[in-house]
Structure 1
Amino acid sequence: MSKSLYRRETTILLKLIKECRTEAGLTQADFAKALDRPQSFVSDIERGSRRLDLIQLRDICAVLGLSLVGFVERFEQLVAES
């Protein structure tokens, strides 16, 4: 298994986070404010220069109105389709 930050699955994850944010009607600034983080935090995530831990991903899902399980299921479906 590759150890690169830029695996295919990483690209899918980053695109999915951005897609969910835009579907929620949030700008990066609004999203960051809801997460109590600077806008650069969201930008870094979406550009792939910051990795996420499970707790951060759970917080992101909560702000987006998504369950963590639902988000992961959507991610797995996209991985399977790619």
Structure 2
Amino acid sequence: MKTIYNETYRQLIQVLVKARKDGGLTQQQIADKLDKPQSFIAKIEGFERKLDVLEYIEICTILGINAGDTINSVC
């Protein structure tokens, strides 16, 4: 099974989505900070694109959340 369909992966992405929304940030704002198009974030949040670990850490940093803590919260 591909990781993108794994329930733990999906929960991890949902943590990022919640943190983004709780922070009042749009997909565009996150994408701008990553120097990526808005569709990059949309595809991650829509489970169309797998997020690698370095991208994950970078997004957590932008969101002001601890990457390790978020992983521990779903595992």
TM-score, normalised to structure 1, is 0.80
RMSD: 1.3
Number of residue equivalences = 74
TM-score, normalised to structure 2, is 0.86
Quick one: higher RCO (CA 8 Å, sep 6+), 1 or 2? Answer: 2
Q: Residue 12 of structure 1: CA displacement? A: 1.1
User: Which residue of the partner structure matches residue 79 of structure 1?
Assistant: none
User: Which residue of the partner structure matches residue 61 of structure 1?
Assistant: 60
CA–CA separation in structure 1 for the residues paired with 2:60 and 2:10: 18
Q: Deviations over 1:29-69 (max 9, x none)?
A: 11111122110000000000100111000101100011211
User: Which residue of the partner structure matches residue 28 of structure 1?
Assistant: 27
User: Which residue of the partner structure matches residue 40 of structure 1?
Assistant: 39
Give ranges in structure 2 of 5+ residues lacking alignment: none
Residues 12 and 70 in structure 2, CA contact (< 8 A), matched pair in contact too? no
SS of residue paired to 2:5: coil
Give ranges in structure 1 of 5+ residues lacking alignment: 77-82
Residues 17 and 45 in structure 2, CA contact (< 8 A), matched pair in contact too? yes
